[in-house]
Amino acid sequence: MADAAEQAREQLNTGTKDVAESHRFDESRLAAWMQANVEGFSGPLEVRQFKGGQSNPTYQLSTPTRKYVMRRKPPGKLLPSAHAVDREYRVISALGPTGFPVPRTYGLCQDESVIGTMFYIMDMVEGRILWDQTLPQYEPAERHAIHMAALKTLADLHNTDYKAIGLEDFGRPGNYMMRQIDRWTKQYKASETQHIETVERLIEWLPKTCPEDDQTSIVHADYRLDNMIIHPTEPRVIAVLDWELSTLGNPLADFTNLLMQWVNGSIAALPDIKAHGIPTMDEYVAEYCRLTGRAGLPDLNWYFAYNIFRLAGIIQGIVGRARDGTANSPQAAAMAERVPALGAAAWKFAQKAGAV
């Protein structure tokens, strides 16, 4: 059985609800825009809001013949460079023709007079979203196959020739990790609600010890099972979702972020990962290296420290939006308790990587 926290998270994020008061808009204006801009659209239109989508409000748009998904920037005060739905739209649209599993896109609207903020429309992909990474509802062989499918899909992303699909200017090649440290430090500071000593140490230590980027690829930057849709019956990824943070960067940032489930997530809590059927971290690392042509992965503890620090920055951003009244979730304020614990966990890995 999934633990109570995982069950609660799934319940909070699964399915749709009435559109939140703060995220309502003139649905007739949206329908008119879709009539003019979305190939094959035919109303009437019914709008529901997905329970998930902490950062960018996400809506289910139903018509008599098909369902669409709309992602929009939230209204209100926003942090610089956050909520980049136009970037999401661009990367999904570029990857689709390569065969990489993403929803089909139908249009981007930058005219804020339509619903109040920028938005885009994509296909609604039907399948399984797996919230509990330990996959308690499956047999060991199926668990193994699903996790390996997720890994293969990530390796396919990192092996994609971003220049060939028109994404050469989707980010700045090189110096990615240093820029990420700077970005999440700024987000943390802009949203700070309390002083946390371990986070302050990380802000000082991470840039001084940052490994050099050795490759550049498209990075998703939030790649995990619950940000993808698995085929209804097969262990196969049919859509990767939530590209808000994607850019060009160091693929090891992506891969080590995925490994965090083995480090301090629900997989790490399993008493016997191998018997459970989930690949061990060593197996996952070896297979990623095989798929991407790497000899090995040094500096894992540094990347683990960085990824936990980054998560602290993301969560602090949600806490800051709750403070400012623009968060999408009533649970956002409760997340403030997680940030000190994340700071402590990140500093332990920093110490393993040589921090004193």
**Bridge partners of 49?**
17, 59
**Bridge partners of 122?**
69, 105
Residue 158 placed within a domain: yes
Residue 128 placed within a domain: no
Determine the pLDDT at residue 9.
54
In a shared domain, residues 111 and 243 = no
Helix axes of 300-324 and 176-191: crossing angle, nearest 10 degrees: 30
The CATH number that applies at residue 334 is 3.90.1200.10
What distance in Å separates the CA atoms of residue 17 and residue 49, rounded to the nearest whole number?
5
Residue 133 placed within a domain: no
The CATH number that applies at residue 95 is 3.30.200.20
Is residue 197 pLDDT above 50, yes or no? Answer: yes
Domain end point (choices 60, 95, 123): 123
| pLDDT tens profile 152-167 | 999 999 999 999 999 9
Work out whether the CA dihedral 43, 243, 348, 284 comes out positive or negative: positive
In a shared domain, residues 47 and 187 = no
Residue 296 placed within a domain: yes
What distance in Å separates the CA atoms of residue 96 and residue 94, rounded to the nearest whole number?
6
Residue 81 placed within a domain: yes
Q: Per-residue confidence at 321, pLDDT binned at 50, 70, 90?
A: confident
Expressed as residue numbers, the domain containing 105 is 16-123
In a shared domain, residues 170 and 293 = yes
Determine the pLDDT at residue 7.
58
Dump strand ranges (E) for the chain: 16-17, 46-50, 58-62, 67-72, 105-109, 119-123, 217-219, 228-230, 237-240, 247-249
For the chain, how many structural domains are there in total?
Answer: 2
Residue 3 placed within a domain: no
pTM of the entire predicted model: 0.86
Residue 130 placed within a domain: no
Residue 183 corresponds to which tokens in the numbers above?
Answer: 């970005």
In a shared domain, residues 36 and 178 = no
